[in-house]
Amino acid sequence: MLKRINSLFVTLFGIGKLPRIPGSYASLVTVIFLYIIFQIFSVPADAFLFLLVGIFIISLFSVNLFIKDLTNKDPKEVVIDEFIGQSIPICLYEIAHKEPTDPVRVLSFYFIMFILFRIFDIAKPYPVSYYDKNFKNSFGVIMDDVCAGLYVVAILVFYMIITT
């Protein structure tokens, strides 16, 4: 039973078992989920950030448990790392924009964050590639996506600086 719950957690309730591009599906579902909780249900982004840190810590143990007996230490079905990495820029965007914003503008930024995250996650520029290549454990699986998410944050901060 515990193994099944862990599998549901690391595969984001089975999204990771979808064919072809499970990481992209997980990122897209994350974007939609976060739009709903932040824009429709008005969940405070700073409170969600604390939850995200908890998910990160739990993921370190859960992914390790999931990949323990596998030869591939970064299987495609593990997509909790996409949830974490994609959540970072969206959560920080929401913290930076506490006042109500035009829904079209928010959706535009969410779309840009989704595309940028997928680019960085797939292209794996340094240090994303460093974690991916040098840590064949849950830390490497998760940290490459955290770095990809932080690259998105850096691009958005740069954009906000040059447009103000």
* Structural domain containing residue 132: 2-9+42-162
3-state helix, strand, coil in the chain (%, to 5): 75, 0, 25
In a domain, 111, yes or no: yes
In a domain, 15, yes or no: no
Measured at the alpha carbon of residue 57, what is the angle toward residues 144 and 133, in degrees to the nearest 5? 25
pLDDT of the residue at 73: 79
Burial class (CB in 10 A: 0-12, 13-18, 19+), 135: middle
Digit-coded pLDDT (tens) for 46-61: 999 999 999 999 999 9
Q: What is the mean pLDDT of the chain?
A: 94
In a domain, 21, yes or no: no
> How many structural domains is the chain composed of?
1
What pTM value is reported for the model? 0.95
In a domain, 18, yes or no: no
Digit-coded pLDDT (tens) for 135-158: 989 999 999 999 999 999 999 999
